[in-house]
Structure 1
Amino acid sequence: MTVHTTTDRPPGELPLVGETSPTDTARPPVPAVGRLDRTDWAALAADLDAYGHALTGPLLTPAECRAISTLYDEPDRFRTTVDMARHRFGSGQYRYFTHDLPSPVRDLRAAFYPRLLPVARGWAAKLGAPAPWPDELDAWVELCRAAGQVKSAQILLRYGPGDWNALHRDVFGELVFPLQVVIGLDAPGTDFTGGEFLMTEQRARAQSRGSSTTLPQGHALVFTTRERPVPTKRGWSAAPMRHGVSTVRSGRRHALGLVFHDAS
């Protein structure tokens, strides 16, 4: 996957958009939202159309990644913890944040949404499907809540040796945003080995197609939540897709997941 950026200015030059929440006064603002402005969004959209996933350039520095990954050890920030082996989802743990999101998580989610909205609406148009997503993330979240999807779906994942995540979709109710984001918080090959991000695409009357991505520290992978449009002889068709994580062979792997619909 090609990394697309529009400038070579050093990380940290642009300010973060948004205020710091009262619970984050000890942590300085993260300028990752400004770094999003340097992404070539047309190229990223083209990769999403072609493959159903696309990698950004670096959004978080190693220090910023560590600041987020260490939140895992602050249980009051989370509404629940999921043991994947217990539920036969794989092996390892993840935690769902409460709605009181840390400022970097909140601001990155809010910044990604309008940039991904044109892709979401374009895919819906190709498939002849409804496009219920308003221009503003807050308005979309209100629609989710009105439909009974009231729980935060923002997620922090932790994997150790032997852990993995089964192929799945993050569909938590009737209202779904067709794209989501995962950000790598540890350095592959240094902090851990294995743990590649996996995707499979179900093809009509053919074998499924798989792909794997090594997620660099601080980079984000945008990928389809449920399906993507693919051209056929009869027009556009929806190709179901699933994602997961391969077995971590050594070390510890953290990742931040940004989901744009809430859970029921």
Structure 2
Amino acid sequence: MSEPSTGTVGDGHRAEHRAGPAPVPGRAEAAALADRVDAQPWRTLLAEIDAHGCAATGPILTPQECAEFTAMWDDLTRFRSTVDMARYRFGEGTYRYFAHPVPDPIMELRAAFYRKLLPLARSWADRLGDAAPWPEEFGDWLDICHAAGQTKPTPILLRYHAGDWNALHRDLYGELVFPLQIVIGLDRSGIDHTGGEFLLVEQRPRAQSKATVSVLEQGHALVFTTRDRPTPSSRGWSRAPIRHGVSRVRSGVRHTLGLVLHDAE
């Protein structure tokens, strides 16, 4: 997701209102979130991500937790920036970057996913001949980002109404990048909204692009490639650029929680 330098709270093209703080799961619940991430079938998931650039988990959030995250939308004090996609020709819709302090459950989820995805990130870097600057602990990785000037939190809450969509893009916010990220569906596809499928497009070397379409189930996560993934070639490994977006929402309202695993300049 791109972040315009002019994006500030209040940029959204739909009227918003301030409300009291939405409930946030406590630390005990946040720890349980990490347990749910750990319990996913990671051997299968990592193999699918390695082969195709993305994979869907089972349930991570309960419907009540999804509703609690969605309710945060109206509390502008939680966010550092609001971006109206149409204003910057990113598509149609609105997204908001969480401010410091990022809610504990979101940080717990980021750290839990980071731990599980780190081996694949390092493997990809080795195959592509890239640096692998990621330490064992997520907090240490954020310290490295912050020391390099990438101090702004990147978790986002996204809202799409009927007719909204998101152009193909990559979420790069500085020189330091983690190669995998996560999006979690917060609404019921086919009930709360129709359309709004997640799109992943891979640019294949000397071939036409390959597209993957995924439906985000409520509370389920989709792990996907941030920038590039290695693909076999006659010379060993090639770099396949990947972009993601969202198809047009046909009815209702679609909310998602985006978890980028590096911070922004």
Instruction: State the TM-score, normalized to the length of structure 1.
Output: 0.89
The 3 A distance-change label for structure 1 pair 137 and 168 is same
Unaligned stretches of 5+ residues in structure 1: 1-22
Instruction: Tell me the number of residue pairs that the alignment of Structure 1 and Structure 2 aligns.
Output: 242
State the 1:37 CA deviation: 2.2
CA distance in 1, matches of 2:67, 2:59: 14
Q: Does 1:151 align with 2:128?
A: no
Tell me if the contact between 2:183 and 2:222 (Cα under 8 Å) persists in the aligned partners. Answer: yes
The 3 A distance-change label for structure 1 pair 25 and 217 is closer
Q: Does 1:54 align with 2:55?
A: yes
State the 1:238 CA deviation: 0.8
State the 1:26 CA deviation: 6.4
State the partner residue of 1:73.
74
State the 1:103 CA deviation: 2.0
State the 1:105 CA deviation: 0.9
State the 1:32 CA deviation: 2.2
State the partner residue of 1:14.
none
Tell me if the contact between 2:24 and 2:68 (Cα under 8 Å) persists in the aligned partners. Answer: no
CA distance in 2, matches of 1:36, 1:143: 24
The 3 A distance-change label for structure 1 pair 210 and 86 is same
Q: Which amino acid aligns with 2:149?
A: G
Give the 4+ runs in structure 1 shifted more than 6 A: 23-26
Tell me if the contact between 2:200 and 2:211 (Cα under 8 Å) persists in the aligned partners. Answer: yes
The 5 Å alignment of 1:56-135 reads 56-135=57-136
CA distance in 1, matches of 2:33, 2:189: 20
> Which deviations, in whole Å up to 9, do the C-alpha atoms of 1:106-140 show, x marking residues without a partner?
11111111111001001001111110001111111
State the 1:251 CA deviation: 0.4
Tell me if the contact between 2:165 and 2:249 (Cα under 8 Å) persists in the aligned partners. Answer: yes
CA distance in 2, matches of 1:24, 1:147: 33
> Which deviations, in whole Å up to 9, do the C-alpha atoms of 1:2-28 show, x marking residues without a partner?
xxxxxxxxxxxxxxxxxxxxx888644
Tell me if the contact between 1:24 and 1:103 (Cα under 8 Å) persists in the aligned partners. Answer: no
CA distance in 1, matches of 2:219, 2:179: 23
CA distance in 2, matches of 1:170, 1:114: 20
Tell me if the contact between 2:66 and 2:186 (Cα under 8 Å) persists in the aligned partners. Answer: yes
State the 1:104 CA deviation: 1.6
Tell me if the contact between 1:24 and 1:102 (Cα under 8 Å) persists in the aligned partners. Answer: no
CA distance in 1, matches of 2:255, 2:94: 10
Instruction: State the TM-score, normalized to the length of structure 2.
Output: 0.89
State the partner residue of 2:15.
none
Unaligned stretches of 5+ residues in structure 2: 1-20
2:223 is paired with a residue whose SS is: strand
Q: Which amino acid aligns with 2:61?
A: L
State the partner residue of 1:202.
203
CA distance in 2, matches of 1:94, 1:126: 34
Which shows bigger deviation, 95-104 or 150-159? 95-104
